[in-house]
Amino acid sequence: MELRPYQKNDVKTLRSTVLGGARRVLFEASVGYGKSVVIEHLAHAYAAAGRPVFVLSNRKAVVDQLRKRARGHDLIQVMTVQAADARRDRLPKFCLVLIDEAHMGGAATQYARVVGAAAHPGTLVVDFTGTPTPGLFKLADAHVAGRDAAWLTAHGFLSPLEYWTPYTPDLSGVALSKGDYQTAGLLEVAEREKAQRLGSVLESYTTRCAGEPTLGFCIDIADAEAVAARFHAEGIAAEVLTGRDGEDETARKIRALQDGGLVLSVSKVSAGFDLPDLRHILALRPTKSPHLWVQMLGRAARAAEGKPCGVVHDHSGNADRLGTLTLKSDWRAGGQPGPDERTEDGRALGVRTCEQCMRIWESAGGSVCPACGHDNRQDRRISEREAVEMRKREAAEIDARHEAEKAIRDRAGRPVKQHMGFLFNAKGWRWPDARAEAARVAKRRLDQAERAGDVEVAALIRSDLEAVGIRP
């Protein structure tokens, strides 16, 4: 397959990087970039020169795709990292190791063992991913930044996405585990808000998706089955696709999806899945992982003839929390909006939600909703960093005022401080003579301060007297 012009440029950059001495290169390429085409190109170029190539992935679906692209070349081996790890003691040495979907963290240890067994000192290892982890940046000698989703969308290689958020779950009490929401907590929220959640999903599907290929992402298998049951109750066909399905069953469900049906998945097709004409995704699985969110969005962003856009129906709060596919992400910092890019309650400042129709769009597009035309006025949200700095300034100002008041009271003198303390004490009201004497002392000091031109002391005593109901 012929490389696209931008792919040729990036491969040229990779070649220059390798000639410069790099032996472990992170090749960052967005969903829809065409990583498989570049992998095929590199593998065949090395094999044609008589140099053996090892292609790895941790997803069988991805491996099947890459094997087809290898076209049975003897010098190209394609394998899941799990299979390679099981036979690493018998692996030969390779000149080139290509790792697809390198961000899949669960396989990181296996990748390290396999690369250690299959590489010699001169081996080139290239990690391909659209959502690199900070660990991959640390591992690499060099980084090739391929075209991102914004560029690919602007140039027609990805389909633009529309985002709607008709329902957002309350995740305030859900605990985190390894940086993401715990499944048990998400299921509790799904059960507690069941009527609203399922009613909203059903409305999204019937009003916008029916008859067009629609893929849903659910929390777990039980959740997917519960959502499917709700659709079945309305007479709407819905398939549940899980990792337990065999090849034939998976193929049958994918065909149903291609024919305009509804399939509910449990991360089965978040990567290594290619259905360009997928029109809608139903996001029912809340996550704090930008890597998982991008993989979900990428399923609907594939460009296809006659496809005006992909539509994201977000029933998870992910778009509000993590933004859109085309927002810039700092993957070196983990990919999440940073403290300058999110509010204190975790909302991405890069997107806005229409208060009328619940359409989400990128904030750079202004205040007018692109769907209904409603003017949502100036965005008055502030960043987490600004909020923290504001509180620091407020605390410092309060401390400064306290210190200034203390200095003024010290200037007023100890007798005034003692007598005003008596006046402010509730017990002072029990002894009217003592109260009157305290008031006389304070007024006398007020008169002295006014004659001396000490405006601050005078103002302080006058304010204190008025506070206890005494006219200065």
Rounded Cα–Cα distance for residues 411 and 189 (Å): 59
What is the pLDDT of the chain when averaged over all its residues? Answer: 91
End-to-end distance of the chain based on CA atoms, in angstroms? 92
Task: Encode pLDDT of 289-311 as tens digits.
Answer: 999 999 999 999 999 999 999 99
Radius of gyration of the chain (CA): 32
Coil, strand or helix: which one is 79?
strand
- pLDDT at residue 270 in the model: 47
Task: For residue 440, give the amino acid letter.
Answer: R
- pLDDT at residue 87 in the model: 94
pLDDT tops 60 at residue 268: no
Bridge-based pairing state of the strands 351-353 and 359-362: antiparallel
Task: Encode pLDDT of 405-454 as tens digits.
Answer: 899 888 888 888 887 777 777 555 567 777 788 888 889 988 999 999 99
DSSP output for 416-456: HHHHHHHHHSGGGGG-HHHHHHHHHHHHHHHHHHHHHT-HH
152 phi and psi angles, rounded to 5 deg:
-65, -35
- Its pTM stands at 0.84
In the chain, what are the domains? 5-147 (3.40.50.300), 154-381 (3.40.50.300), 386-467 (no CATH)
Task: Encode pLDDT of 57-104 as tens digits.
Answer: 887 777 887 788 777 688 999 999 999 999 999 999 999 999 988 887
pLDDT tops 50 at residue 126: yes
